[in-house]
Amino acid sequence: MKLTIIGTGYVGLVTGTCFAEVGHQVICVDKDAAKVKLLRGGGMPIYEPGLEEMVKRNVEAGRLSFTSSTEEGVEKSDVIFIAVPTPPLADGSVDLSFMESVSREVAHSMTSYKIVVDKSTVPVKTGDKVAETIKRYCKAKVEFDVVSNPEFLREGFAVEDFMKPDRVVIGVRSQRPVQAMKNIYGPFKAPIIVTDINSAELIKHAANSFLALKISYINAVSVICEASGANVQEVANGMGMDARIGRRFLDASLGFGGSCFPKDLSAFIKISEQLGYDFRLLKEVQRINAEQMDRFVGRIIDTLWVLKDKTIGVLGLAFKQNTDDVRLSPAIDLCQRLQKEGARLRVHDPRAMDKAKAVLKDVTYVPDMNKVADGCDALVIATEWPEFKKLDLEHVRKTLTHPILFDGRNLFDRAEMEQMGFIYKSIGRPA
């Protein structure tokens, strides 16, 4: 089928590329001419495992192209996917100005029937607003359908998640676009849920909020484990073997971050308030998440006492492994808190250092992870990159001023670290 994806961020670029991979003809639209030029030249604006090779393969095959013209994308395709940012606002709601603007541009460009698919994460009833906007601004007065098709992609695993989805959710106002949407997703061999638009939009916020709840739950349990001498990893393993619970998202850590969970959680709370319900459970999830970082920073201060003029090494800047995304990253938050205490920082991340430089100033960026600890008073692991498990720990121990390691992701075994001579502090495990 002929598809257009408007927006080439983490969602839009992965969506368009994976659609091309299974044989669809895809045009990716982005108003940023520099980004379009970069993509046409074989460059990549984001890091996502497997994506660069897939983009190159489909561009060479003629199934994937890039343009800055919305009109071109609408004219040449039957189905238009909107995958633009919906950033958070101060009150917890989301900024839908990009969505509204693109809806108007699509409307102006339409001269025949189109299916307009909302791929961005949006509040419930946004589909109605998109439909109203297109109807108002479409001078040709042609028929169209608006569909909600939320994404469920994990950054760092987005290509894998798209190619092998757990399910595909399609929210519609009529049956007319259903078969076309089924044809688009047919090659992926996934269960397809066809529902109304409002339910489809709520599914995404409800799912992400539940996963955030699960993370905050195990982080709250980690506090009890520390107080009682239990091991949160053993508790999580025992819980996770229950098929009703599952092991995923039960890893105690610094807390959740990124562009999805914090934003979607706040948005769902705001949506609920607007609909007359005080979602106090989700507010508690937010509070627990914030306290987890407070507790970790407090542990560093308790151990080192005064941080002013001390040098601390930090491994990890991205909000999670396998991505260069630093938006609302717990690692960046940690670094900024340490800086406020007067600490000097030496930092490293396998992929995110370039993007971190825009938000994290006055730190030393170290290309080699094994040299971050050189001359430091302590080392902190802030992101769960698998590379960090391969640290030259003997070198790290010798080059630290004091062999103190704060493991915010529980990557190492406490007994082994202590045997090597480290003062080792982790989360939810016996001190």
Distances (CA, A) of 289 to 3, 264, 412: 39, 14, 23
- 138: annotated active-site residue: no
For residues 381 and 411, is the Cβ–Cβ distance under 8 A? Answer: yes
Of 138, 225, 260, 376, the catalytic one is 260
Q: Which residues are catalytic?
A: 260
